[in-house]
Each structure stands twice: as C-alpha cells, then as structure tokens.
Amino acid sequence: MSQTPLLSLRNLRTMFTGENGEVVAVDNVSFDVNAGEIVGVVGESGSGKSVTALSIMGLLPKTGARISGGEILFRGRDLLKLSSREMRGLRGREIGMIFQEPMSSLNPVFPIGDQIVETIIAHERIGHRAASARAADLLNRVGISSPARRMLDYPHQLSGGMRQRVMIAIALACSPKLLLADEPTTALDVTIQAQLLDLLRDIQDETGMAIVLITHNMGVIAECADRVVVMYAGRVAEEAPVDRIFDAPNHPYTVGLLGSTPDITRDERRLWTIPGSLPRIEAPPSGCRFAPRCQLAIADCERGQPQAVQIGAAHWAACLRTQDASSLGRKT
Amino acid sequence: MSSRTVSETPAGVVARKYFWRGRIARRLMKHRSFVIGAVLCTLVLLVAIFAPLIAPTDPNRMAIRFRFQPPSWDFPLGTDNLGRNLVSRVAYGARLSLMIGLGVVLLNAAFGVLLGALAGYFERLDGFLMRLSDALMAFPSILLAIGIAAALGASATTAVIALAVVYIPRTARILRASVLVVKEQEFVQASQAAGASHGRILFRRILPNCMAPLIVQLSFVFAYAVLSEAVLSFLGLGAPPTTPSWGILISEGRSYIREAPWLTIVPGGAIAVTVLGLNLLGDGLRDVLDPRVKMDGA
C-alpha cells in the first residue's frame, strides 16, 4: 500500500509530571492507520493505550501531561501544531471517540436525543429539525428501535449496551474519518460485546471510516481488527496484520499475551501467565522494558531499547530474539 | 404513546413537552413538602400582590384612638402604638420583603453562578476568585451587610446589594464544588471528544448537572434575605421607616413587647411562614428536578 496513511504517529512521546518528576507514559510510539482499516491496539492496563488515544485527540489533562516529542499526522497535518480552536473543529467532525464507560459517558440530565442533536449542531450549519431527523436516523443505524421515542429517554433509562450504541451514534454524528474506540466493550457483557463489535464492523464497511480499537481483549482483536499494534509499558512491542499476530507472533510479550488467553481448542489445565507485572513507570528498566519478565532475555536485552525489526510484510517486532520468540509461540 | 415519526414532531420539542407536562409536574404534585412549601409561598405571594385589596386602610394611616388594640373582629391582627392597622402593614410588608428577597436571589444567582462556574472550571481563576470569596466570608454576614448598607446609605436597594454581596461567595462556593465534581465525569471528556467548546461544555453540559444544589441554595438565600432584610430594617439600615417592612414592624413593636406582643408576633410569624415555605419548596424541587434521584420508580 503506497497511499499516505490517514493517521500516522511518528515517535510520539507523552510525559506526565508526577510527584517524583516526569515519567514517560508513551515512549517513541509510531504506527499508521490507513483509511478504511481497523487497527487494534492491545496491551495491559497501564501500557499507554489510552494515553496514546487521548494524545491523538488532544485531550490529555491540562495540568501534568504533555507531549514532548514526535508528530501526529492526520491527513498530512500535524495535529500537535494545530491551535486549540482548530483541534476543536476536528474533534467530533473528523475524529470521533467512544469511551470505555457507557454508564458515565452520557450527560445524565439531558435526553439522549438532545445530546446527539447538540453534537450535530455544534459542527454543522443545520436546523434543529433536520438535526433531530438525522439523530433519529443515527439511532436507527446503531440498532435502536423506535428512535423517535428513545430520543426522549434519559441515559439512566437505557441499558449499558444501549448507551454504548448511543455513544457510537454521537461519535458517528458527523461521519468522522477516524473513530477512536477506547475499550468500547470492556464494561459490557459478552453477548452485547459481540453485537457492538458487529455493529462497528458494519458501520466501518458502509462508511469506509478507519477505526482504532483499543482493548486488552485478544478475542476482540481477533474478531475485528485488520492490523494489530501490541503495546507494552508505553512502547510498541510488535505490529503485524491480525493473522500474523495470532499465527506467528514474534515478540515474547505477544506470545505471552496470546498464551494467557483461554482457548477451547487447546487442551491444558491452567492458563499460561506472564510472571511479574508491568515495570513501574517511574523507574523503567534501562533496556528492553519487557526483559525482566521475559523468558528469553539475554544480557544484551538490558543494554538498550531494541529497535523494531522487520519480520515480514507490515510486520515488525521490537525484540532482539524474534526468531526464538516465534518458536516459543509454537511450544505454548 | 403512539409511534410518532420524527418528521412529524421534532424530538427536541416533544422532549420538552414531555418533560414539563408529564413527569416533573406529576412528581412535584406528589411531593408533600413541595406542596406545603408551594402553598405557603403562594399564600405570601398572593398577599403581596393583592395587598391593596387586603388592606382595610392605608398602612400608614394613624388612628390614635385605636392604639394598642389587641386582635379583634374589627382589627384582626390588632393595631400598633399609633393605631395603624397591622393587617395593612403586614400585607404591604410582604411586598417589600418578597421584592428584596427576589432581588437578592437574582443578583446572587447571576454572579454566584458565574463566579462559581468560572472558578470551578478554569483552574487558573480558581485561586484568585476563591481567596476573594474567603475575604468576604471572613466577615460575619450580618456585620458585612451592615457595613455595606451603612456605606451606601440606607434604602431598600442598598439592602438588596448588601445582602447579595454577602451571599454571593456562598453560592459561588457551592457551585464551584459541584462543578469540580461534574467536570471530572466522563461525559465531559466525551463532549470534548465531540468537539464542544469550553463555553458550551461549562454552561450547557456541566451547569445543568449542578442545578440541584443551586436550587436548594437559592431557596435558602431567599429565606435568609427575607430574614436579614428584617434585621437590617430592624437596625435602621434597610428600607426607610415609613415603609412597613416586616423588620421595621418588629423593630417598632419591640418597645411594646410586654403590653402588645402581637406587634412582634405577627410580623415575626409572617417571616417564619415565608422562610419555612421557601425551604420546603427548595427541598421539594431538589428531590424532583434531579433526574439522578430516580425518575419513575422503575
């Protein structure tokens, strides 16, 4: 694919100022999202997935967080250089976002219809009537029946799945080119998860919108994503097309992540776990951040951050021992 | 409910009708303390509006012959030391008290909400605005009101300004606290993600979520204003003595409290009824207007 990507992160670095000085939450993260593609970003809690999304949106907390380096190119423009006014015009209109908690992402004191209408009116010169009609269409499209009546409901009258559908409708209100979905299904039960993922896929098929799907759930990735970015402790560990991630992972962390996902085709009593936990962000290991937990770590791993190695078409892994990692994958 | 299509009825309009005619009104009517409060407030309001019809005589008309008449058939609430009919005086006093209370509430709502919202939302303004309000709140409220009223000269308008200044920091504080809580909720970030501006987020998204404590606070401010106006008038810093404010009535009646207790009891009772009514009304509104407090028992 030689087209210019819709979104392109280049060495993004986001820092937080804590009590003990600055910590790097997202370190040197680069990846592309092409138009019409679903990119899964996967990693443990605290791996920097959500901070990456908020960096793209320019919604990092005003105090204590800053982007200290890199570029976020969206359709060729560096979002980090836009004024806050320009960013505001972009949010919702060109880049939509849905959040993890459908319970709290809707304003409790307004009927949901008003909330969709407001978003449309904020971005487009359109009358209230036309906006209402479009809001009803949107609700219909995200699978809410009798939308005209539902528009009068307050968020607390809807179930979690319905609320997330409403959030999707709001995110879609101005047909954005890119949708950032930050753990959109984590708070929902499994059947609703599946419905919503189907919905996202359908909408993506219809509109050709690109989706960045942030999750810690490998099943969600397998279901939806075209390409996968695996993050660990603020860095990209591995990036590959979805089938390569599942069939031939080349980073020991990806292998561990896959091994710790239950799989009914495998015949084993206990799930594999990765020993240890995420390194403390205030004091990251000097070399590869995964080294302290890695079965394959060698002395070199602690010497410097491993560079991303190209393994195949659109497949990179930031590991010195990619070859051994792939064989490790076959064993577990 | 019939299945309407959107083209027939714009949803926003339907929503508003639904809101006002349906649930809210019905639930308010079921709320006992709201109903009692509303009845008491309406009563006081009617007395204020129809004071000229209720009053048998001009409130300042003296009839020395009938001075210190205890309540009787001819003088239902008695007469004062100059023979003025207390019915007239209390009825006209209601006008003044309610007007001053309303003025204070309006000023308070406008400035308290604005300052509180700005302080809560913009961290940079917070320190300055809140230290300013600390400075005002450091004075005992009545003392501050007396100071301001004394500096500006005694009149009803001065009383309104003085009392508004005294209560604005309190309202601002309460609103700031709610804004601080609400602005951290995820839907605020969601609105930002949808491209809403600061003004829109603050005034259209956050403030409506802060209404419940604000309404209660304003009902209390109204009550306090009625009470404090009486105090200011009592001390000679409110309305001029010729106007029959409730505070002035008490002040004048004080000298004869042993011989003619109705001179203090009647206006005092009027103040008590008004304040009670306003408090009950505020509590009821808080319970019902806040959609988070359970909407329809479902």
Q: Minimal Cα distance from A55: which residue of B?
A: B193
Range among A2-6, A190-194, A229-233 with highest mean pLDDT value: A229-233
Separation CA B49–CA B42 (nearest Å): 10
User: pLDDT, tens digit, for every residue of B247-274?
Assistant: 888 888 888 888 888 889 999 999 999 9
d(CA A115, nearest CA chain B) in Å: 9
Contact status, residue B224 vs residue B213, Cβ threshold 8 Å: no
Does residue B87 sit within a domain?
A: yes
Separation CA B272–CA B140 (nearest Å): 22
d(CA B45, nearest CA chain A) in Å: 31
Contact status, residue B181 vs residue A108, Cβ threshold 8 Å: no
Q: Minimal Cα distance from B208: which residue of A?
A: A109
**Residue of A105, A129, A136 with shortest CB distance to B190:** A105
pLDDT for B1 equals: 40
CATH number at residue B284: 1.10.3720.10
Separation CA A35–CA B231 (nearest Å): 71
Which of A94, A141, A152 to mutate: most B Cβ within 10 Å?
A: A152
Contact B5 A108 (CB under 8 A): no
pLDDT at A105 over 70: yes
Does residue B152 sit within a domain?
A: yes
Does residue A282 sit within a domain?
A: yes
A281 or B244, which is more confident?
A: B244
| CB < 8 Å to A126, chain B | none
**Residue of A63, A92, A114 with shortest CB distance to B12:** A114
A39 or B141, which is more confident?
A: A39
Does residue A1 sit within a domain?
A: no
pLDDT at B171 over 90: yes
Separation CA A6–CA A73 (nearest Å): 8
- As to burial, measured by CB atoms within 10 angstroms (0-12 exposed, 13-18 middle, 19+ buried), residue B177 is middle
Cβ count within 10 A of residue A250: 27
Contact B187 A107 (CB under 8 A): yes
Task: State whether the Cα torsion B167-B168-B172-B173 is positive or negative.
Answer: negative
**Residue of B3, B6, B209 with shortest CB distance to A136:** B6
For residue B85, the 8-state DSSP code is B
**Residue of B11, B18, B185 with shortest CB distance to A136:** B11
Does residue B228 sit within a domain?
A: yes
d(CA B190, nearest CA chain A) in Å: 6
- The b-or-e profile of A32-68 (16+ CB within 10 A means b, else e) is bbbeebbbbbbbbebbbbbbbbbbbbbbbeeeebbbe
Does residue A164 sit within a domain?
A: no
Q: If you average pLDDT over residues B36-47, what whole number do you get?
A: 93
**Residue of A117, A136, A154 with shortest CB distance to B295:** A154
pLDDT for A237 equals: 92
Q: Which domain holds residue B147?
A: 40-56+67-293
CATH number at residue A311: 3.40.50.300
| CB < 8 Å to A104, chain B | 185-187
d(CA B247, nearest CA chain A) in Å: 41
User: pLDDT, tens digit, for every residue of A172-224?
Assistant: 888 899 999 998 888 788 888 888 899 999 989 888 899 999 998 888 898 88
pLDDT for B23 equals: 66
Q: Any CB–CB contact under 8 A between A17 and chain B?
A: no
| CB < 8 Å to B17, chain A | none
Task: State whether the Cα torsion A170-A175-A178-A184 is positive or negative.
Answer: positive
Does residue B15 sit within a domain?
A: no
Domain count, chain B: 1
Closest CA to A213 of A222, A204, A225: A225
d(CA B82, nearest CA chain A) in Å: 56
Q: Minimal Cα distance from A84: which residue of B?
A: B197
For residue B48, the 8-state DSSP code is H
pLDDT for A268 equals: 67
From chain A residues 62-121, the ones with a CB under 8 A of any chain B CB are 62-63, 88-93, 96-97, 99, 101, 104-111, 113-114, 117-119
E strand or H helix at B204, and its extent? Answer: none
Separation CA A273–CA A261 (nearest Å): 9
- Give all strands of the β-sheet with A77-78 in edge-to-edge order: A21-33, A7-18, A65-74, A77-78
Does residue B17 sit within a domain?
A: no
Average pLDDT across chain B, whole number = 84
| CB < 8 Å to B190, chain A | 97, 99, 105-106, 167, 170
Domain count, chain A: 1
Does residue A313 sit within a domain?
A: yes
**Residue of B10, B204, B292 with shortest CB distance to A128:** B10
Contact B186 A101 (CB under 8 A): yes
User: pLDDT, tens digit, for every residue of B279-294?
Assistant: 898 888 878 766 555 4
E strand or H helix at B137, and its extent? Answer: helix B123-137
Q: How confident is the model at residue A241 (pLDDT cuts 50, 70, 90)?
A: very high
Query: How many Å is the Cα radius of gyration of chain B?
Result: 23
Cβ count within 10 A of residue B91: 24
B7 or B75, which is more confident?
A: B75
Q: If you average pLDDT over residues A122-148, what whole number do you get?
A: 90
Q: Which domain holds residue A284?
A: 7-90+179-186+219-330
pLDDT at B298 over 70: no
Give the number of beta-carbon pairs within 8 Å between A and B: 124
pLDDT at B7 over 50: no
| CB < 8 Å to A148, chain B | 3-6, 9, 11, 14
